[in-house]
Structure 1
Amino acid sequence: MQLVSYLRDSHDQLSLLINGHLYNMDELHPDLPGSMGMFLNYWEDAFPLAKRAEEGVKAGRFLQNRGIPYDAVTLLSPVPFPTSYRDAYAFRQHVAAVGRRHNTPWLPEFDQYPVFYFGNHHSIQGPGEIPCMPDHLENLDFELEVAIVICKHGRNIPAALADEYIGGLMIMNDISARRLQSEEMLLNLGPVKGKDFATALGPVLITQDELESFEIPAKANHTGKCWNLVMKCRVNGVQVSEGNLGDMDWTFAELIERASYGANLYPGDIIGSGTVGTGCFLELNGTAALNNPGYTEQWLQPGDAVQLEVDRLGMLNNLIVKDEENWSILKQKKI
C-alpha cells in the first residue's frame, strides 16, 4: 500500500494513494482509523482491512468517484507525529568517505555493531519549506536516506524476526547544519544542534508488500531484507548524488535488533538508514577536494530546491528558506 498523510481541517488525515488520488482511510471502512498514529497502533487488525479496501477501490466496487487529487492537498510527513526518531550509520561507503575528509583512520567498530543517534522527533516534517536560522545556513547540507517506521511494540527483537516490525519505507532528508555539528562534536557529543531543526520525510510510506520485487539478499554475514532501490538527489534540477539502498551494510532488521536491546520500540518510532554513499555535500566536497585542492565547496543556500528521489518510494521536494519572522526577532534582541 501507499500511505499518505495530508492536512485536512487543521489536523492530519491518513489516506491511501491509488492511481494519483487519495482515499481517506476512515471513509474506506468504519473500523479504519483516520490518522497514521492510530493506524500503526492497531496495525495487525488495520493493515489487512486496509488491503481489502484498497482492492475494492482498484476493482471499482466503491468510492471510485470519491478520490481527492494527490496534487490538491498539503502533504505532511507520512508519520506526522512519530513517537521517537533514531538515525543510523549503515553505509560503509559514506562512513569511509567522511573519514578520509577528516583524515581519520577507519574504525573497526563499524563492523562490530550498528550505531545510531537520537534526533528531535518534534522537528519531523514533510515536503515543503525548510525554515533556517542564520547558523543553520553555515555549511547547510542535505542527507539522502531512507527511513522505516515501527508498526508494533517490541523489546529485545532478534534480527531474524525484525522485518515483521517494519510498517513501511519512506524517503528521508536529514537536513544538517555542518558548522554547528562540527563544533559540538569536538566535545564528543552530538550530533544535536546541527540536526535538531528539520528532518523531512515522505511524501509516501510504502509498505513492504509493494517492494517484494525489489528485495535482494543482505550482504555476507548480515540478516534481514534489503531492497535494490536507486536513490538520487537533485539541487535546483541538477543531479548531485546517486546511490542505492541495497548498498546498506547493516540492514534495518539489524538496526531494530540493536535499538531494541534492553529498550522498548513502539509503533510510530522512526529509524533512518544513515546517508547513502555520495549522499551529502560533506562527503562530495571532501572527495572533490582530495582530487582538486582548489575545489570550491558547495552547500545549500536560501532558495535552493532539494529533490530526493528513490525508486518506488517517490520524490521528496523541499525548499530552503530563511526563517524570516525569527530572524527579525533575533535582530531586535541584538539591537
Structure 2
Amino acid sequence: MKYARIDVAGTERVALVETAGVEHNLTLFPIGTDLLIAACEHQVPPTDAPVVALSDVRLRAPLMPRSFRDFVSFEEHVVGASAMTADPASAVELWHEQPTYLYGSPHAIIDPGYPVAGLPASSQLDFELEVGIVIGKDGRDLTPAEASDHIAGYLIVNDWSARDVQKHEMRGGLGPAKSKDFATTIGPWLVTPDELEDCRVGDRLDLRMSVFVNDSEFGSDNLAHMGWSFEELVSYASRGAWVRSGDLIASGTCAGGSLAEAWGRSGALDPPPLSPGDVVAMKVDRLGFFSNPVVAPPAERYKTVAATPLRDLHTLTGTTK
C-alpha cells in the first residue's frame, strides 16, 4: 500500500494512494489519522471515504522523522565523491570494511514540490538521489533477519548538499554537517514492503533510480547495487543503540546520483552547480516521482569570523598560561 500526507484546502489529511497508469487518486482517511500507524497496520479508509485527485491537493512529506541516519551504500558514488576527502584511496578502502552514516537533521525535511534554497554564501548546491526506509517499531541489537520486521515502508530521498561548505567541513575530520542542514526532500509517499516483494533479488530490491535536471536525465542506477541491504543497515544502526518508530534511514547516494560524483571524476565543476531556476526531479520504480525548484538563498545576515586565539582570551581575562 502507498500512504500519502496531503494538504486539502488547508487541512492536513492522510490518504491511501491508488494508482491507475499515470493517474493517482487519493482516498482520504478520517482527520487525525497517523500515517505511520496506518502503514504499519495496513489500514484502509472507510468505504464511503471521499476521493480526491493528486492534481487537486498539495503533497507533504509523508512524515516528520524522529531522526535521520544517512548511510553511504553505493561503491561507485564513493569512488567518485571521495575526491572531497583528504585521502581518497583510504576513503574507498575504509568504505569496504563496514557501513558508515552521518546524522541529518529531521528539522530540514522539505515537501515534494517545495522551493529549495541553498545555504547563504554557498555557491555549490547539489542534489543526492537516494532511497530511504522508515522504522515502524522500536528495536535494539537487531540481526538483519529481525530488522526486516522493523521496516514500515520505503520512500525517495533527496539529500540536498552545499558542496563547498561540505569540503571545508571535512578538512577538519568532522562533517558533513552544516553543509546538509538546510533541506532534505522525502516522498512522495510511503510504500509498504509488501508492495515490493516481487522486486526482490535476494536481500536487495531491483528498482531503477533516476534523477533529472530541467527535464533531462542526469543519472541513473539500480537500488540492488547497494553494498549492504537495508536490513543490514538497520542492524548496524541498532548495534548497541535504539532505532525508534519514525526514524528515517537512507541508502546514501547512488551511482550517478549527484553532481559531486561527476566533479570528483573530472576534477572540475562540470556540469555546473545548481542555480535558481533549475528544477531537480527524482523517480524510483514503484516508489514514485517528485521534483523541487531551486530558488535563490536568503542574504547572509552574519558572516562567521575566525575563532579568537587562546592567547587573546588569556589577555582578555587577565590570566597567563
Normalization by structure 2: what TM-score?
0.85
Question: Residues 101 and 37 from structure 1, CA distance in 2 versus in 1: closer, same or farther, beyond 3 angstroms?
Answer: closer
Counterpart Cα distance in 1 of 2:232 and 2:11: 34
**Cα-to-partner distance string for 1:240-261 (whole Å, 9 max, x where unaligned):** 1111101001111111111111
Paired residues of 2:36 and 2:136 also in contact (CA < 8 A): no
What is the distance in 2 between the residues matched to 1:78 and 1:170? 9
- How much does 1:112 deviate? 2.5
In the alignment, does 2:183 pair up with 1:184?
A: no
Structure 2 letter corresponding to 1:313: L
Q: 1:183 to 1:11 in 2, by over 3 A?
A: farther
Query: 2:9 & 2:289 partners in 1: Cα distance?
Result: 25
- In 2, the alpha carbon distance for the partners of 1:252 and 1:241 equals 22
Q: CA deviation at 1:8?
A: 4.2
2:191 paired residue number: 206
- Matched residue, 2:150: 165
Q: Is the 8 A contact 1:135 1:180 kept in 2?
A: no
1:278 to 237, 241, 256: 256
Q: Distance in 2 between matches of 1:322 and 1:239?
A: 23
Does the 8 A contact of 2:118 with 2:125 survive in 1? no
Aligned length: 295
1:225-240 map, 5 Å: 225-240=203-218
What's the CA shift for 1:284?
1.4
Matched residues in 2 for 1:193 and 1:226: separation? Answer: 32
Amino acid at match of 1:235: V
Which SS does the other structure have where 1:182 is aligned?
helix
Cα contact 1:4–1:75 (8 A) shared by 2: yes
- CA separation in 2, counterparts of 1:309 and 1:37? 22
Q: CA deviation at 1:298?
A: 1.7
- Report the 3-state secondary structure (helix = DSSP H, G, I; strand = E; otherwise coil) of the residue aligned with 1:211: helix
Contact kept in structure 2, 1:215 and 1:226, CA below 8 Å: yes
Determine the structure 1 residue equivalent to 2:284.
Answer: 310
- Determine whether 1:134 maps to 2:81: no
For normalisation by structure 1, the TM-score amounts to 0.82
Distance 2:116 2:250 in 1: 19
The answer on whether the counterparts of 1:168 and 1:207 sit within 8 Å (CA) in structure 2 is yes
Q: Percent identity?
A: 33
- Is 1:71 the equivalent of 2:51? no
Q: In the alignment, what sits opposite 2:315?
A: none
The 5-angstrom pairing of residues 1-335 of structure 1 reads 1-8=1-8, 12-19=12-19, 20-26=24-30, 34-39=33-38, 43=40, 46-47=41-42, 50=43, 53=44, 62-63=47-48, 66-79=50-63, 81-99=64-82, 104-106=88-90, 107-127=92-112, 128-136=114-122, 138-217=123-202, 225-289=203-267, 296-323=270-297, 326-327=298-299, 330=301
CA contact (8 A) 1:24 1:34 kept: no
- Work out the CA distance in 2 between the residues paired with 1:172 and 1:322: 22
Separation of aligned partners in 1, 2:266 and 2:119? 28
Contact 2:204 2:224 in 1 (8 A): yes
In 2, distance between residues paired with 1:242 and 1:162?
28
- Give SS of 1:330's match: coil
Q: CA deviation at 1:70?
A: 1.0
Amino acid at match of 2:118: C
| Residue in structure 2 matched with residue 221 of structure 1 by the alignment | none
1:105 alignment partner AA: A
Q: State the shift of 1:101 in Å.
A: 6.8
Cα separation, partners in 2 of 1:155 and 1:279, compared to 1, 3 Å: same
Question: Residue 222 of structure 1 aligns with which residue?
Answer: none
- Change in Cα spacing, 1:109 to 1:34, as seen in structure 2 (3 Å) is same
CA drift at 1:7: 2.2
Is the contact made by 1:233 and 1:240 (CA closer than 8 Å) also made in structure 2?
yes
The structure-2 alpha-carbon separation of the partners of 1:155 and 1:246, relative to structure 1 and needing over 3 Å to count, comes to same
Q: CA deviation at 1:310?
A: 0.7
The answer (yes or no) to whether the contact 2:119–2:162 under 8 Å persists in 1 is: no
Query: Displacement, 1:37?
Result: 4.8
Higher helix share: 1
